[in-house]
Amino acid sequence: MEIITEFAHTVREIEHCLIPLRDGTQLAARIWLPEAAGEQAFPAILEYLPYRKRDGTAVRDALTHPWMAGQGYVCIRVDMRGNGESQGLMADEYLLQEQNDALEVIEWLCQQSWCDGNVGMMGISWGGFNGLQVAARQPEALKAIITLCSTDDRFADDIHYKGGNLLMENFGWAATMLNFSAAVPDPLLVGDSWKGLWQERLDAMPLLAETWLQHQTRDDYWRHGSVCEDYSAIKAAVYAVGGWGDAYKNAVPRLMENLQCPKKAMIGPWIHKYPHFAVPNPAIGFLQEAKRWWDHWLKGIDNGVMDDAACTFYLQDVLPPKGSYAERPGIWVQTTGWPDPQIQWTDFSLDDQGLSPGQQSLNASRSVCSPLTTGLHQGEYCAIWFGPDGPTDQRRDDAQSLCFDSPPLTEPLALLGDVRLKLRLSSDTACGQLVARLNAVAPDGQVSQLTYGVLNLNLRDDFAQLTPPVPGEPMDVMLSLDQVGVRLPTGYRLRLALSTASFPLLWPSRELTTLTLLPGLQSVQLPVFTGDAVECPFDAPQSAPPAALEVLRAAAPKRTLIEDVSSCEVCVRIEDDLGAVRFLDHGLWVDQRCTEEYRTLPWDPLSTRADIQWQYRVGREQWSVEVDSSLHLRADDQWFYVEAEQVARENGEQVHHRQWSKRVARVAL
């Protein structure tokens, strides 16, 4: 990445300021202004997050916001109430209060002498969510947004549920927020009030794992903040950005298909990161692309950004399976929108010969009851921390699945879109999970996962309506696998693998289930891309100079599979060691690490448990704070049991201790 040190405008930074809200709460902001901001007004670009501007996002902020400020934009990074140096308390994600605060922040921006009244919002993940949500509230000043790695449907595509199934990541993220939300305000910025603010947060800390677990269907809780409820509410221009290595890619085509406002989209090879420093490569000049977007929508410059192709996608070449890649070879392609005529839907069938072109009937029933340990090689739901989180060789999971293989490809195949599966099946219980993986089988036998989809059969017709299977009765099931952009060479075979479990992606059903494919047509539709490659339409990546850091301990993410051959218990151990650094400009050092352990026995769904530990350490000379958080989950056939604990210390002395013990009924799971 090219580091840029000279810009059209010299940048002045306001390290910390407070934005007053009508209820008396003040939100903390960090602001980068073009040097002439005191004499000339500029458009403002807001990023609005709970992740602590002082240290949580400071490394990526240094790469991004000064660069954009140097192009003539005021960039504002605001911490939500109850986080960082902001006052107040945060009770949950995406609340109406969060949106209302954002509207007040935008109003405040427009009252400043350095803002010309034109505002954009840009954010990834949480910031991508609230960019869409605030746009749906239609503040007059908000002309455009860039939303990255986010979703329009909180139940379908966030870290809580997938296909109506409970994600283990629901608890991984609940444990993360329990610890992140316990971080201290920096005394260097807020003075002696830091301890009172911190203690208030600790005393009021919500147990989000309980909240999220209480809503097991797509009820009003999830409909709130899901902009798919009314796409027409969004009037501001939207640039939707995703990555094939990210969990939120499905929302990008949906937004392009359903939004009625001006819109653009791109999906690259990346994990859950901004595209100018994401992996795997190729990274792109995302900041230059964002500048073109802002120049058009916030400054009124006719630069042709809306004359370009509406959608740009990177089609990855299939590679030997590996937990992470430094680079993904491939090609760029473009479409005029979504859906696009360059995508031709091609029928395949699950029949007695395997996965066959055309429509062929399955003549004999086929059944599968997978061990609960199936899915160990699928990887994590969302790759966030640069660890080995992707899917590895699928052969061991395939051995525990019902597999249908195609003949070897006689010509290259490019896929772009969602794979659509229509099955007729029965269950031997009044519950069950269907897991479908589309894999690529190399000539040497290695198997790479291309995409997957999952479905809770209790919610198969409507995620809002519980309809348990009737044992033995036929069910017609439709399942869309995740969006995919990939190229396969000749000689590879496609494999559709069906299983009844995916651990530790999903919390298992309360009973072991055998699913039976019934005789008749069992079909798969593949989105075959027929267009041509284009030259990369983006510049090489640039950034502002990185933050000045001293690395005290390098980050060391790790994922380990452990099998006890005596009990047959399997444990997936994920070590998200974020490392330890000292910020040289203000001296704060921060040390964060997490260990997640997910355990189950192959044939006992009630043996499953999750145990998650987070450690947060921060300090300067002669002052330090520690917060240890833990979250534990288990279940029987009627209840989930949630245990949590948090201990906080200042200079080694305990100042706070809290425990939770909750029980939540199993309703749809």
CATH number (domain holding residue 88): 3.40.50.1820
Same domain, 524 and 389: yes
Same domain, 391 and 455: yes
Question: Rounded to whole angstroms, how far apart are CA atoms 397 and 376?
Answer: 7
Question: What does the pLDDT read at residue 383?
Answer: 87
Same domain, 502 and 646: no
Question: Rounded to whole angstroms, how far apart are CA atoms 67 and 155?
Answer: 35
Which residue, of 311, 332, 360, is where some domain finishes?
Answer: 311
pLDDT (tens digit, 9 = 90+) per residue, 344-361? 999 999 999 999 999 999
Q: What percentage of the chain exceeds 90 in pLDDT?
A: 98
User: In sequence order, which residues have a C-beta less than 8 Å from that of residue 586 and are 6 or more positions away?
Assistant: 54, 186, 188
**CA angle at residue 571 from 161 to 401, to 5 degrees?**
65
Residue corresponding to tokens 């070590």: 575
Which amino acid is present at 580? A
Taking CB atoms within 8 Å and a gap of at least 24, the contacts of 574-582 are 574/172, 574/380, 574/387, 574/598, 576/385, 576/387, 577/553, 578/385, 579/551, 579/552, 579/553, 579/554, 579/555, 580/551, 580/552, 580/553, 580/617, 581/549, 581/550, 581/551, 581/552, 582/549, 582/550, 582/552
Average pLDDT over residues 270-291: 97
Which amino acid is present at 343? I
Check if the beta carbon of residue 169 is closer than 8 Å to that of residue 626. no
Nearest in space to 444 (alpha carbons), one of 393, 374, 397: 393
174 assigned to some structural domain: no
Q: Domains in the chain: how many in total?
A: 3
Question: Rounded to whole angstroms, how far apart are CA atoms 114 and 427?
Answer: 64
465 assigned to some structural domain: yes
Residue 39: pLDDT above 80?
no
Same domain, 385 and 416: yes
Distances (CA, A) of 512 to 33, 302, 436, 452, 499: 59, 60, 17, 21, 12
Nearest in space to 405 (alpha carbons), one of 347, 354, 351: 354
233 assigned to some structural domain: yes
183 assigned to some structural domain: no
Nearest in space to 425 (alpha carbons), one of 357, 473, 462, 362: 473
Average pLDDT over residues 494-512: 98
601 assigned to some structural domain: yes
The tokens describing 412, both together, are: 């290259």
Which element (helix H / strand E) includes 272? none
Q: What's the gap between Cα 487 and its chain centre?
A: 24
Half-sphere exposure (Cβ direction) of 491: Cα atoms closer than 13 Å: 7
Residue 144: pLDDT above 70?
yes
Distances (CA, A) of 658 to 91, 170, 646, 647: 17, 21, 5, 7
Average pLDDT over residues 309-324: 97
Same domain, 408 and 466: yes
Question: What does the pLDDT read at residue 38?
Answer: 60
Three-class secondary structure assignment of 213-230: HCCCCCCHHHHCCCHHHH
SS3 294: helix
Check if the beta carbon of residue 313 is closer than 8 Å to that of residue 416. yes
What one-character-per-residue DSSP string does 333-374 give? Answer: EEESSSS-TTEEEEEEEEETTEEEES--EE-S-EEE---TTT
The tokens describing 591, both together, are: 């040390």
Residue 37: pLDDT above 70?
no
242 assigned to some structural domain: yes
CATH of the domain at 378: 2.60.120.260
Same domain, 282 and 372: no
In this prediction, residue 36 has a pLDDT band, given cuts at 50, 70 and 90, of: confident
Question: What does the pLDDT read at residue 492?
Answer: 98
Question: Rounded to whole angstroms, how far apart are CA atoms 149 and 241?
Answer: 6
Nearest in space to 28 (alpha carbons), one of 76, 77, 85: 85
Average pLDDT over residues 471-500: 98
Question: What does the pLDDT read at residue 387?
Answer: 85
**Sign of the torsion angle spanned by Cα atoms 297, 303, 309, 315:** negative
Average pLDDT over residues 301-328: 97
Same domain, 518 and 560: no
How many helices (H) and strands (E) are present in the chain, helices listed first? 12, 35
Question: Rounded to whole angstroms, how far apart are CA atoms 601 and 501?
Answer: 12
191 assigned to some structural domain: no
Q: What percentage of the chain exceeds 70 in pLDDT?
A: 100
In this prediction, residue 599 has a pLDDT band, given cuts at 50, 70 and 90, of: very high
Residue 343: pLDDT above 70?
yes
Question: Rounded to whole angstroms, how far apart are CA atoms 368 and 72?
Answer: 60
Same domain, 520 and 410: yes
Same domain, 518 and 571: no
138 assigned to some structural domain: yes
Same domain, 653 and 566: yes
Domain region containing 281: 11-153+226-311
Same domain, 556 and 620: yes
- What global pTM score does this model have? 0.97
User: In sequence order, which residues have a C-beta less than 8 Å from that of residue 650 and are 6 or more positions away?
Assistant: 195, 623, 624, 625
Question: Rounded to whole angstroms, how far apart are CA atoms 247 and 271?
Answer: 8
Question: Rounded to whole angstroms, how far apart are CA atoms 190 and 208?
Answer: 27
Question: Rounded to whole angstroms, how far apart are CA atoms 582 and 580?
Answer: 7
Same domain, 144 and 264: yes
CB neighbours (10 Å) of residue 310?
Answer: 17
In this prediction, residue 385 has a pLDDT band, given cuts at 50, 70 and 90, of: confident
Phi and psi based region of residue 491 (left: phi greater than 0; alpha: psi -120 to 50; beta: remaining): left
Residue 551: pLDDT above 80?
yes
